[in-house]
Every structure is written in C-alpha cells, then in structure tokens.
Amino acid sequence: MDAKKTIERCGVLAETYPSVFIVELDQDENNFERVSYSYTDILTDAVELVFTDDKKELAL
C-alpha cells in the first residue's frame, strides 16, 4: 500500500512562467527559500493551492 505524504508550506507567489510557477517560502517554517511547481501538479492534484486573505500568502 502506497500512502501519500502531505507537506504544508506557506509562501508568496513570486513568479509565473509558461509551464511553472515559483513560490517564495516563509523562512521561519522552511529549510529553503523557493520552490517551483508545474501547472500539471495542480491539474493532477499533486499540489493543492489555498489562497489566504489574512496573510496575503499562498498555502501549498
């Protein structure tokens, strides 16, 4: 049985490109500064985006 691991990250959408987007992560909660995801990650539910109004941040 293959269990999916869930990782939550908070950051700010920094850059967008034709096939990927870059998120700058909150340094207090993460070991690295930036991550990139493809739009396919969203379409295949590998990545879920949640936009929060109070922090103006993106939860991944």
Residue 31, pLDDT score: 65
Q: Which tens digit of pLDDT belongs to each residue from 13-57?
A: 899 999 999 988 877 655 668 889 999 999 998 888 887 766 555
CA 28, CA 10: separation in Å to the nearest integer? 10
* pTM tops 0.85: no
Domain ranges of the chain: 10-59
Residue 60, pLDDT score: 60
Q: Which tens digit of pLDDT belongs to each residue from 4-25?
A: 777 888 888 899 999 999 988 8
Q: Name the nearest CA neighbour of 46 among 35, 26, 60.
A: 60
